[in-house]
Amino acid sequence: MRDHDDCMGIVTGLRLWHSQQLPGGLQGLVLNPIFKENLRIALLGGGKAWADDTSQLGPDKHARDITSLDKYAMERWEVILHFMVGSPSAAVSQDLSQLLIQAGLMKSEGTEAPCITSAGFQFLLLDTSSQLWYFMLQYLHTAETRKMDLVEILSFVFQLSFSTLGKDYSVEGMSESLLTFLQHLREFGLVFQRKRKSRRFYPTRLAINLALGVTGSAVDVHRQGYIVVETNYRIYAYTDSELQLALVALFSEMLYRFPNLVVAQLSRESVQQSIANGISAEQIIHFLRTRAHPVMLKTTPVLPPTITDQVRLWELERDRLQFTEGVLYNQFLSQVDFELLRDYARDLGVLVWENPPKRLMVVTPTGHPDVKRFWKRQKHN
């Protein structure tokens, strides 16, 4: 009953229906007229048809089959992931780079190239469908700032989910906003369009599964179970995926590379460098555990405690010093003056540090004006 009430509350909150007194005095629910009309069209047909007729364009000389579309989608999506991990060969548009920064997946300081953040590393641990959903939500949040029609974009995304994989569709009748969105989808790997000015496009499996919420899609850039970690801090990655190797290289030093195997070393410098870039020790441990080779999964615990403990200790080493901004007070003429001002700052809760023998104290920048005014009043008295 509680679930029913929760569902009723959600639907009412979306204004899909509203309560109304029916003839006879009973309380009933009436559908929103706009929702009612669109629901009727969805169930019975009608409305404005999607301009998907490509008969006027003739047969496509460069038609793509399902296999090639899956390969294209994987390649395009991997370019974005490669760019996030800093692969030199990966290049994306300026617009996409800014979107990654606005989403908090990457950060850029001054003229330096963008680098991955802690949220970005966590993003790379997700499956492809979850990555796409997160990415599209961030894109939709910024759509109106790009002067794009949000409703029109959402309608097109849902239309793509009803399209047929391997079938081409026409761009005739699309607005400028939709054509711009189509080019962004092309860069994401959600649609294939041979040229920017081409009058037809092919939705890929990524686009069709996006609105359907399918997680077990055939296109997935993640490969589980390929890492072996030894107690001597050696990592053996049994993979030929450039992306997976780039992920391992974010927190380790590459030693040897063979056709299907890479040997890396966990070191204090490599781990602390990744921590400086925003990747936490727990994220490194989680990555190694979730990518563990089937041989390692037979042991308990999966990762050697020596490795997990040391990675955490290396993180703690870096956090031993804590920096706090403050204002220094010194050159007190007497110990009484020092203690008077120190006690006042302590009562205000703005005292950061004190050294009574040397008559030194530090207060917070926000508390400095009050302490300064108090000290001036005391000096005048």
- The DSSP annotation for 12-79 comes to HHTTSEEEEEPTTS-EEEEE-HHHHHHHHHHHH--SPPP----GGG---TT---HHHHHHHHHHHHHH
Bond from prior residue into 301 cis (ω within 30 degrees of 0): yes
* pLDDT for residue 232: 95
First to last CA, the chain: 72
Q: Is 289 within 8 Å of 329 (Cβ atoms)?
A: no
* pLDDT for residue 122: 82
Which residues 6+ apart lie within 8 Å of 104 measured at CB? 117, 119, 120
Which residues 6+ apart lie within 8 Å of 3 measured at CB? none
Instruction: Find the length of the chain.
Output: 381
* pLDDT for residue 46: 64
Distance CA 374, CA 341 (A): 8
Q: Which of 271, 219, 233 is nearest to 249 (CA)?
A: 271
Distance CA 96, CA 151 (A): 21
Which residues 6+ apart lie within 8 Å of 54 measured at CB? 60, 168, 169, 170, 200
* pLDDT for residue 212: 63
- CA torsion 65-68-70-75 (nearest 10°) is -160
Supply 252's token pair. 């380790």
* pLDDT for residue 57: 72
Distance CA 279, CA 256 (A): 24
Q: How many CB atoms lie within 10 A of CB 106?
A: 23
Q: Is 134 within 8 Å of 188 (Cβ atoms)?
A: no
Supply 105's token pair. 């997946």
Distance CA 11, CA 63 (A): 43
213: left (phi over 0), alpha (psi -120 to 50) or beta: left
DSSP 358: G
Single pTM value for the model: 0.62
Distance CA 234, CA 228 (A): 8
Q: For the chain, list residues with pLDDT below 50.
A: 215-222
DSSP 356: G
Strands 327-329 and 234-237: unpaired
* pLDDT for residue 54: 65
Q: Is 215 within 8 Å of 129 (Cβ atoms)?
A: yes
